[in-house]
Amino acid sequence: MNILSEGRRLGRVQVPTVTLAHGGGGKAMKDLIDDVFVGAFGGGAGVPLEDQARLALSAFAAHGDRLAFTTDSFVIDPLFFPGGDIGKLAVCGTINDLAVGGAVPLYLSCAVIVEEGVAVDLLRRVASSMAEAARAAGVSIVTGDTKVVHKGACDKLFVTTTGVGAIPAGRELGVHRAQPGDVVLVNGLLGDHGAAILAARGDLALETPIESDCAALNGLIAALLESAPGIRSLRDATRGGIATVLNEIAQASRVSIEIDEAATPIREEVKAFCEILGLDPLYLANEGKIVAIVPRSEAEAALAAMRAHPLGAAARIIGEVLPGGASDTGRVSMRTVFGGRRIVDMLVGEQLPRIC
């Protein structure tokens, strides 16, 4: 469905919960889409909804010479958590996947799979959250799809978002571009999202609630790239945490990366949380944190740009890129607070399932 319509009279759902009829393609489905999604994402009357969004190529050409395209599905449990919800997470996560490639995010799609019996008001809350997050980031949700499945066929609500944007000419970022002598930066405290989700499931009673860091980072990344245009690589440290991201960069670039435990910013509550459960905070998911590989000559400019932005106030330089051996396919290590070193391998398996 195309959301970019104006002046059309919108339908309204008259029942409190979603039924299979809302996925049947008839009036009930039209009313659900109008009420929950078109009303939230923008649209009105006069122009019928089409099966696709129609976007001017000039909108992309104004920002760059290449198209960036990404998609992601979100199955988080619980749907609402301190600092966000599945809707905000879907929008911010997809925007960030575009932005770390150097793209200017422009448009999103939204597809939902809804379980029969879900409250319509819950869908309204999610759609409103998505719309608010998209507006704040300067992107538009322009098309989507809705499916309803039998009760028990999914867990309340699954969301898939796809995003497109434009990459400015001459901008080249990639996991394969790290070079010895580069430094590693992060824009703040690590592991908050993974800890917040587990706490929200009621597995631990915490005196100090931990909020997810869920946020759209395109504004921060734009400021960062303007101040340090020579940045080699940007990655958002979601599932698998910064440990997995650093291993991917080291392997693709055939270098070693060493980080300093004392310089790595992790909230004391998250450290304690991980000690209790036997988790490693380096592998906890983040939804508002990036790892930047920056030439040493631009490191201070990059750090200053991060710290000048609200989402980078706690930014740190946490490590450096070192040469890899002749047969080295990439290794990550950490200088510990005790003066030793430990290998930081890529995550095997899943520390916490259904975190995004």
Which residues face 148 on adjacent strands? 114
Tokens representing 354 are: 């259904």
The answer to whether 258 and 335 have CB atoms below 8 angstroms apart is yes
Q: Return all residues near 202 (Cβ < 8 A) that are at least 6 apart.
A: none
Q: Where in the chain is the domain with CATH 3.30.1330.10?
A: 20-167
Taking a C-beta distance cutoff of 8 angstroms, is the pair 83, 213 a contact?
Answer: yes
Q: Tell me the C-alpha distance between 39 and 61, whole Å.
A: 29
Confidence at residue 45, expressed as pLDDT on a 0 to 100 scale: 46
> One-letter amino acid identity for 176?
H
At 329 the pLDDT is 72
DSSP secondary structure string for all residues of 25-90 = SSHHHHHHIIIIIIHHHS--SBS---SS----HHHHHTT-SEEEEEEEEE--SSSEETTEEHHHHH
Q: What is the DSSP letter of 9?
A: P
**Phi, psi angles (nearest 5°) of residue 112:** -125, 140
Number of other CB atoms surrounding residue 176 within 10 Å: 13
CA distances, 138 to each of 97, 108, 216, 219 (Å): 15, 11, 10, 9
β-bridge pairing 255-260 and 331-335: parallel
Q: What is the CATH architecture of 183-343?
A: Alpha-Beta Complex (3.90)
Q: Go through the chain and tell me how many residues it has.
A: 356
Mean pLDDT by runs of 10 across the 356 residues of the chain is 61 94 93 92 65 92 96 97 97 98 98 98 98 97 96 96 97 97 98 93 74 98 98 96 96 96 95 89 96 98 98 98 78 95 86 84
Q: What is the C-alpha to C-alpha distance for residues 59 and 157, in angstroms, rounded to an integer?
A: 32
Q: Where in the chain is the domain with CATH 3.90.650.10?
A: 183-343
The string of DSSP codes covering 283-315 is GS--SS-EEEEE-GGGHHHHHHHHHTSGGGTT-
Three-class DSSP category at 84: strand
The pLDDT, as a whole number, for residue 134 is 98
Query: CATH for 20-167, among 2.40.50.140, 3.40.50.12240, 3.30.1330.10, 3.40.640.10?
Result: 3.30.1330.10
Question: What's the confidence (pLDDT) of residue 326?
Answer: 60
Q: Which residues pair with 109 in a beta bridge?
A: 143, 162
How far apart are alpha carbons 53 and 294 in whole angstroms? 37
Q: Which pLDDT score, from 0 to 100, does residue 206 have?
A: 67
- List Cα–Cα distances, 34 to 29, 37, 39, 44, 123, in angstroms: 9, 6, 6, 9, 12
